[in-house]
Amino acid sequence: MISVALADDDELVRMGLRVLVAREHDLDLVGEAVDGDDALTIVRSRCPDVLLLDLKMPGLDGLGVLRAIAVDPGLSRTRVIVVTTFEIDRYVAEALQAGASGFLPKSSVPAELVRAIRVVAAGQALLSPSVTRRVIGMFGRHLVGPTPPRVAWDSLTAREREMVAWVATGLSNDEIARELVLSPDTVRTHVSRAMVKLAARDRAQLVVYAVRKGLTFPDASG
């Protein structure tokens, strides 16, 4: 069972997400928050697998919640999906750096939201190619945040560096495998090794690292 919490100051949005989670046999809603302070209280007391988080809320905003979760080792199991109505801007880019595991527009169809929860709960990042490329295109290496030591980068094999670049396109392991005509297990192994060497919290952090290192991002459009 995947435990889920949600934080949004819009009652109608919360109601829609509540109904969506309740109808899935493998999802369990463990709390609702109307602002960032409430969200942190729920996360600290219930340790949900996934938090659906609005960025702009009264009081402590979504970025504040993300940063508080990222620095608390006791909350390391909670993954955060930002659910937003806003266009990709500096605020969303900062959320990626602060530890968000994925982004979804509030206009997403129910099936996409459910899939997102399951993907992120399984330890993968949910960064669509369109969102990721827009963040990269708009901010590129101006992104700030943690950078692994040079020795960590130097320890990556050529294939592992390639996989980090592919992860930064927003594709899943299965999608990368199809692009490269490799088995998903092979891709998963290389990505996992790169994460261990770089001490990356999750795949989303690999994206930030890749951007800051100026890696060349593969074109998966064709």
Boundaries of every domain in the chain: 2-126, 141-212
Query: Is a pLDDT exceeding 70 seen at residue 47?
Result: yes
Residue 10 exposed, middle or buried by CB count within 10 Å (0-12, 13-18, 19+): middle
- Mean pLDDT computed over every residue of the chain: 82
pLDDT of residue 89: 57
For 22-45, write each residue's pLDDT tens digit: 999 999 999 999 999 999 999 999
pLDDT of residue 43: 96
Rounded to an integer, the average pLDDT of 99-113 is 81
Rounded to an integer, the average pLDDT of 106-118 is 85
Strand order in the sheet with 79-84: 27-33, 2-7, 50-53, 79-84, 102-105
Query: Is a pLDDT exceeding 60 seen at residue 5?
Result: yes
DSSP 126: B
For 142-197, write each residue's pLDDT tens digit: 555 555 566 788 899 999 999 988 887 777 788 899 999 999 999 999 999 998 89
Which residue is associated with the tokens 């396109």?
A: 169
pLDDT of residue 171: 77
CATH of domain 141-212: 1.10.10.10
Q: How far is it between the farthest Cα atoms of the chain? A: 49
Query: Is a pLDDT exceeding 70 seen at residue 140?
Result: no
How many whole angstroms separate alpha carbon 65 and alpha carbon 48? Answer: 14
Q: Which residue has the higher pLDDT, 171 or 57?
A: 57
* Short-list 101, 88, 98, CA closest to 60: 98
Q: Which CATH number is 2-126's, of 3.40.470.10, 1.10.3720.10, 3.40.1190.20, 3.40.50.2300?
A: 3.40.50.2300
